[in-house]
């Protein structure tokens, strides 16, 4: 590198005196902080939520897979501090942006959090800083949105400061992968930015994959999640068809995945959840519309996946009907409201859509999810004020129908199903039960 500013930043990264700043202290930001503190760096966490900053500064975690003891160890080593003061962004040498990128009501990208964060960074931007966007977005965001805002500071990218994109990759609930063990794709605005970003990630990440541009890295993330969305939609559609044919989709998938090549198993469910798969493909659809090109696979997959909660409600209505009961007035307990097994993340969970649909039909709702003690306020769903119920024999017997929406490992179906009157299983959680199969309906 021939740039003196770049050389100076490279040296601080190389000797691990560079201070990491992470904006957005959620399911992406906190694991990254953990990876870098474990590698010997110091970090500052930035968030607009006072409650999050206060909790972290007291050694308390609000994410299940980041233990309280882990946060306290950061504080004990004086390696971490959380703040809501965005004027302190100048204290960080490398700033990772890990803020939400949701969809608007019209399914257009909502980059307001990214833009507000970048405006805050621009106000205190100084020579020798590197900014990396990790939030999922459409190709062109780093160059077309972040760059102009940052250069309003009067500093020039590639000379005074450096800019890159590296898509976040997380697999919550999977103990085999942590932020430090998942390969990172990195694209830089120009060569110095790429070299610096690659060097920085190599300090804490097992494998780093450099690509030619920010746009390639941005498109990589969209491809990963579109691939999953389309394949999940396919098995969801086959689930509906095979049910009409009297064929168990789960047994079909188990048989198909014995093929050692040319097949990867995807599984149906009550709908898509999480912060990526229900959202990211529509970023690509939005870009395609701007170029007057339809994205038929993406749109069709979205339609199929968003129709799954309604299909589940229809199956539940059929099951209740066989018992001589309507949905209206029936006591329905939803087991699992997190979007995924063994996580405490409710974002975009199909359980909330199920609650909306069942509530509209007059059901008396309750839920059980030890990972979600009380239902949080949701951006796109009208969520009732409920707290998680204990799966006692008395509670189970009081339900007209138990709906399995998320198959947490903590649920002992051998204990739950015998005390239940009727079970609708959207996750094949009860497949191996030796008793109570006559109570179970698959959806």
Catalytic option among 214, 276, 368, 401: 276
Concerning whether 276 is annotated as a catalytic residue, the answer is: yes
DSSP H or E stretch at residue 185: strand 184-188
Q: Which residues are within 8 A (CB) of 110 and not within 5 positions of it... i.e. 6 or more apart?
A: 101, 102, 103, 104
* Two tokens, residue 387: 């707290």
Can you state the angle between helices 280-290 and 296-322, rounded to 10 degrees?
140
Q: Whole-angstrom Cα distance, residue 246 to residue 260?
A: 27
Tell me which residue has tokens 């746009």: 215
Concatenate the DSSP letters of all residues of 245-314 into one string: HT--HHHHHHHHTTSSSS-------SS--SSSTTTHHHHHHHHHHHTT---HHHHHHHHHHHHHHHHHHH
Asked whether the beta carbons of 371 and 399 are under 8 A apart, the reply is no
Which of 192, 206, 216 shows the shortest CA–CA distance to 127? 192
What radius of gyration do the chain's Cα atoms show? 24
Asked whether the beta carbons of 132 and 164 are under 8 A apart, the reply is yes
Catalytic residues: 276
């Amino acid at each position: 590198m021939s740039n003196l500013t770049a050389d100076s930043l490279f040296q601080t990264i190389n000797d691990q005196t560079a201070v990491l700043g992470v904006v957005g202290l959620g399911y992406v930001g906190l694991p990254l902080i953990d990876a870098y503190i474990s590698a010997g760096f110091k970090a500052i966490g930035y968030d607009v939520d006072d409650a999050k900053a206060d909790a972290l500064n007291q050694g308390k975690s609000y994410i299940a897979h980041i233990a309280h003891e882990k946060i306290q160890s950061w504080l004990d080593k004086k390696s971490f501090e959380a703040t809501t003061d965005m004027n302190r962004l100048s204290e960080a040498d490398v700033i990772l942006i890990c803020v939400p990128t949701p969809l608007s009501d019209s399914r257009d990208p909502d980059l307001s959090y990214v833009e507000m964060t970048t405006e805050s960074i621009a106000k205190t931007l100084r020579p020798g800083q590197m900014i990396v966007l990790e939030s999922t977005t459409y190709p062109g965001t780093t160059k077309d949105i972040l760059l102009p805002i940052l250069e309003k500071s009067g500093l020039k990218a590639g000379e005074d400061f450096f800019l890159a994109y590296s898509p976040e990759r997380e697999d919550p609930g999977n103990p085999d992968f942590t932020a430090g063990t998942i390969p990172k794709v990195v694209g830089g605005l120009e060569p110095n930015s790429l070299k610096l970003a690659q060097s920085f990630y190599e300090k804490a990440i097992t494998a780093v994959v450099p690509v030619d541009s920010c746009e390639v890295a941005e498109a990589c993330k969209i491809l990963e999640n579109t691939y999953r969305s389309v394949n999940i939609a396919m098995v969801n559609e086959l689930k509906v068809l095979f049910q009409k044919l009297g064929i168990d989709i789960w047994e079909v998938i188990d048989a198909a995945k014995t093929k050692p090549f040319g097949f990867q198993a995807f599984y149906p469910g009550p709908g898509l959840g999480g912060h990526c798969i229900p959202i990211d493909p529509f970023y690509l659809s939005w870009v395609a519309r701007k170029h007057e090109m339809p994205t038929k696979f993406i749109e069709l997959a979205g339609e199929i996946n968003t129709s799954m909660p309604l299909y589940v409600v229809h199956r539940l209505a059929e099951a209740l009907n066989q018992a001589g009961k309507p949905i209206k007035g029936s006591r329905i307990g939803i087991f699992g409201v997190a979007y995924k097994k063994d996580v405490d993340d409710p974002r975009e969970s199909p359980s909330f859509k199920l609650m909306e649909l069942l509530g509209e039909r007059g059901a008396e709702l309750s839920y059980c999810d030890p990972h979600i003690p009380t239902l949080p306020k949701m951006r796109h769903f009208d969520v009732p004020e409920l707290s998680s119920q204990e799966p006692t024999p008395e509670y189970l017997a009081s339900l007209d129908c138990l709906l399995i929406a998320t198959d947490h490992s903590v649920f002992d179906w051998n204990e739950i199903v015998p005390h239940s009157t009727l079970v609708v299983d959207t996750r094949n959680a009860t497949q191996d039960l030796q008793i109570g199969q006559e109570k179970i309906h698959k959806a």
